[in-house]
């Protein structure tokens, strides 16, 4: 495993967010982080990319603690698309993605032949080639998100982090972005780590899922191991009905109820029933 998290703790001021968290990110796979609002999903992503520092523990990339790696060298190993990318007001698409080549530039020289080749490749694989001379501000939500992914690709890293890449997009554009990430993983061998809110999208497109609750790891594994009534009860405090998607055979949350009882942080009591595909027809 190239990327490992060992017993990290992360706080915002005096408020602890992540507590003694350890995990490993599988190489060459799509890994998705799920959990309720405020559970530490984005915080974990930011810690793994050194946007914020952990209070304790280690984050290891290729055998080295990331806080000891030179910034430019780290930018050649991993790229991140944040939840709310900074404004690209007044920039054309080609101008924006050229910024992704910064880690490779020396002195005040312009773009090299290699830089331009990588930019052409990123435009091609994200289907944004025809948008290169358009203002980023004039693009649709789906187009803009593909451009930001192109910017991440231009860094030419093996590992890409994305914080809620489908936020604010309609269903068609969400699917477009997730299929693009799946293609980048399978065809370009990129390791993808992302945060998603939609459980069914996470199950459909992920090789592995990390489920967090209150800054702690609840379960990590395949969709079949994580998208279960028991795990969803602990993570989201819901009584979920799970069956399998007839097209993908991946687990799918069909519907759910809030857990009953005064303490929503407790698991369902013995009177509650977990429904699965095997007994859904008896409902």
Residues 232-259 have a mean pLDDT of 97
**Model pLDDT for residues 188-197, shown as the tens digit of each residue:** 999 999 999 9
Residues 164-176 have a mean pLDDT of 94
4, burial (CB in 10 Å: exposed 0-12, middle 13-18, buried 19+): middle
Tokens found for residue 61:
């990339």
Nearest-Å Rg of the Cα atoms of the chain is 20
pLDDT at position 263 is 52
On the question of pLDDT at 235 being above 80, the answer is yes
**Model pLDDT for residues 59-96, shown as the tens digit of each residue:** 999 999 999 999 999 999 999 999 888 778 899 999 99
**Model pLDDT for residues 104-128, shown as the tens digit of each residue:** 988 666 899 999 999 999 999 999 9
On the question of pLDDT at 281 being above 50, the answer is no
pLDDT at position 274 is 38
Closest C-alpha among 90, 107, 88, 113 to residue 99 = 88
């Amino acid at each position: 495993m190239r990327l490992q998290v060992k017993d990290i703790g992360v706080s915002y001021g005096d408020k602890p967010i992540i507590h003694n968290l350890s995990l490993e990110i599988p190489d060459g796979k799509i890994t998705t982080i799920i959990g309720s609002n405020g559970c530490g999903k984005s915080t974990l992503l930011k810690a793994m990319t050194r946007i914020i520092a952990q209070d304790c523990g280690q984050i290891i990339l290729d055998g080295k603690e990331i806080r000891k790696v030179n910034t430019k060298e780290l930018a050649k190993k991993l790229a991140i698309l944040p939840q709310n990318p900074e404004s690209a007001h007044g920039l054309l698409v080609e101008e924006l993605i050229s910024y992704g080549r910064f880690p490779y530039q020396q002195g005040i020289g312009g773009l090299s032949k290699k830089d331009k080749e990588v930019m052409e490749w990123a435009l091609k694989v994200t289907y944004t080639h025809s948008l290169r001379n358009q203002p980023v501000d004039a693009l649709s939500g789906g187009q803009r998100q593909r451009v930001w992914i192109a910017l991440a690709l231009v860094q030419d890293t093996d590992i890409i982090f994305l914080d809620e890449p489908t936020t604010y997009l309609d269903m068609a554009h969400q699917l477009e972005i997730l299929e693009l990430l799946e293609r980048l993983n399978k065809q370009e061998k990129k390791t993808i780590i992302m945060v998603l809110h939609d459980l069914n999208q996470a199950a459909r497109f992920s090789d592995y899922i990390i489920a967090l609750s209150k800054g702690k790891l609840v379960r990590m594994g395949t969709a079949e191991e994580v998208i279960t009534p028991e795990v969803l009860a602990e993570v989201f405090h819901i009584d979920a009905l799970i069956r399998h998607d007839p097209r993908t055979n991946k687990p799918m949350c069909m519907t759910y109820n809030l857990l009953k009882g005064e303490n929503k942080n407790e698991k369902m009591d013995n009177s509650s029933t977990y429904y699965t595909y095997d007994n859904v027809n008896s409902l």
